[in-house]
Amino acid sequence: MSYQDEYKRKLVSADEAVKVIKSGDWVDYGQFAGQVVDLDAALARRKDELRDVKIRAVTRAAGVPRAVQEDPGQEHFIYNNWHFGGVDRKLHDQGLCYYIPILFREVPTYYREHMDVDVCMLAVTPMDEHGYFNFGLNNAATMAAIEKAKVVIVEVNRNMPRCLGGSQESVHISRVDYIVESSNWSVPELPPPKICECDEKIAGLIVEQIEDGSCIQLGIGGMPNVVGKLIAQSDLKELGIHTEMMVDAMMEMYLAGKVTGRYKNIDKYKMVYTFAMGSRKLYDFLHNNPAAASYPVDYTNSPQVIAQNDRVVSINNAVEIDLYGQVCAESAGSRQISGTGGQVDYVEGAFLSRGGKSFICISSTFQDKNGQLHSRIVPTLSPGAIVTTSRSTVMYVVTEYGMVNLKGKSTWERAEALISIAHPRFREQLIKEAERLKIWTRTNKLVS
């Protein structure tokens, strides 16, 4: 049987495909910008026939899932998510989304060894002449989910870019049970992050620490993107990319001639990533581009793999940090707002890299809804706050007031260092709190 004949035999409507889903099933929706849309709508139409169907996704970028909209009482569908975006965060606030704690590098192992997948549904590119459907922008743990699934359904979207590997970036038709041709919905884009003066100051401090031939990882958000833009405008050269998320700033670095990958020890000359989100320009850049290589997340985020490249520079954001050096990057108090993601993976990997540096970036303050100013450097983390990166793991911390390296520092040295880069308005109070916590000694310098 030819691949085209097999395609025709497996081709069904979305409504026909979701008939395989039973009450109590675990159903994967795909990841990031590659989550299903038409299959979601078809599943929602079966609401009254089903109970306790558990949906699993990662950073829903295509709007609120129809299944969740149709079932606010959660009698029929229960929505779970590995990493919150804006949609997931709002649903969580309404009690309609549940977070799955992870280390991103471990997710393929969770699928293969610890979780059930009754039905795996995912968005893919059209089949190629060899019978393969490409995962597009979303590698991560996709193949692991397919391997564990009892049933695999692909939703073909002609707008999905074909992203070359790497490894495990596509699935053969022989492993697919049903094929649905989608409405060719627009692949979700990320709006350009808002950039403030504080971000620019922090980014400027970091760029000064980057050497020619460094290998770069940028996290999500305004500040890491500013770093990328400054790199694109700098005199730096011969940089490499080994990252979790491919973003527009990395494309700009490449187009500006700053990225060659010449000095990488592995994947030389390739920009390595596990998923991409950004503008349509980025997606068009990645389409069939041999300069970029899509890999599963247990490769891109393995500290041992990351460390094989020299001079790795890891740049990530935080919500707050306490005087011990504990970093919260995923919650506001007990309110989950994002996820652990790959921050821990890259902080560890950069430290293991020869000449590597990891930077946790944080604005010194924030304003609450009443306009009151608060310090993001705090004596202890807010009640209920999640520790994303432990104090033992953190390396550089950067605010708009400076940069400190916490490696090898005692608790009183850490307190002194962090207070030195806090907003001046809060430094005296932080010193008093450090004294109360017995992490301030007479040898500490007073910070004005």
**First CA to last CA across the chain, in angstroms?**
78
Sequential pLDDT tens for the chain (448 residues)? 899 999 999 999 999 999 999 999 999 999 999 999 999 999 999 999 999 999 999 999 889 999 999 999 999 999 999 999 999 999 999 999 999 999 999 999 999 999 999 999 999 999 999 999 999 999 999 999 999 999 999 999 999 999 999 999 999 999 999 999 999 999 999 888 788 899 999 999 999 999 999 999 998 777 888 999 999 999 999 999 999 999 999 999 999 999 999 999 999 999 999 999 999 999 999 999 999 999 999 999 999 999 999 999 999 999 999 999 999 999 999 999 999 999 999 999 999 999 999 999 999 999 999 999 999 999 999 999 999 999 999 999 999 999 999 999 999 999 999 999 999 999 999 999 999 999 998 766 655 4
> Was 257 annotated as part of a binding site?
no
- Residue by residue, DSSP assigns 355-408 as T-EEEEE--SEEE-TTS-EEESEESSPPTT---SB-TTT--EEEETTEEEE-TT
Residue positions counted in the chain:
448
Q: From the candidates 169, 244, 348, 433, which is the catalytic residue?
A: 244
319 is in an annotated binding site: yes
Long-range Cβ pairs for the range 425-428 (8 Å, 24+): 425/365, 425/373, 425/375, 426/364, 426/365, 426/375, 426/377
Enter the pTM of the model.
Answer: 0.95
Q: Which helix (H) or strand (E) covers residue 245, if one does?
A: strand 245-246
Class of domain 197-436: alpha beta
Residue 220 counted as an annotated binding residue: yes
Say whether 219 counts as a known binding-site residue. Answer: yes
Could you count the other beta carbons within 10 Å of the beta carbon of residue 140? 31
**Which residues are CB-neighbours of 15 under 8 A, at least 6 positions away?**
42, 45
Taking a C-beta distance cutoff of 8 angstroms, is the pair 145, 297 a contact?
no
Q: Specify the DSSP class assigned to residue 101.
A: -
In the chain, residues under CATH classification 3.40.1080.10 are: 9-181
Q: Apex CA 101: angle with CA 98 and CA 106, to 5°?
A: 135
Q: Please, what CATH class does the domain formed by 9-181 belong to?
A: alpha beta
Q: Provide CATH 3.40.1080.20 ranges for the chain.
A: 197-436
User: Does 348 qualify as catalytic in the annotation?
Assistant: no
Q: Is 221 annotated as a binding residue?
A: yes
